[in-house]
Amino acid sequence: MSASLQEAALPSDISEIEYHLIVAEFDALWGRTRRLNPAESARMDYMICLIEAFEASRGKDSFN
């Protein structure tokens, strides 16, 4: 995730392409066989917030 994306506080600041990239990165971290370090866990928590906010702002049904 780019620095500018990390600064984006509103889901409206995130494009649909960035949303899909966030989901892909989250899935990659989720699928790791080793235990996540604290920074990776914090990043996943942040990505969950972005994903949930983006889906809520756009209507979650369109992303399932």
- Position 7 in a domain: no
What would the mean pLDDT of 5-28 be, rounded to a whole number?
80
pTM: 0.72
Whether the Cβ atoms of residue 8 and residue 14 lie closer than 8 Å to each other: yes
Between the two ends of the chain, the Cα-to-Cα distance in Å is 22
- Determine the angle formed by the axes of helices 16-30 and 38-58, rounding to 10 degrees: 140
Q: What is the pLDDT of residues 39-61, one digit of tens each?
A: 999 999 999 999 998 988 887 66
What would the mean pLDDT of 26-43 be, rounded to a whole number?
93
- Position 5 in a domain: no
What is the span of the domain harbouring residue 59?
14-63
Read off the DSSP letter of residue 31: T
- Position 2 in a domain: no
- Position 18 in a domain: yes
Number of domains in the chain: 1
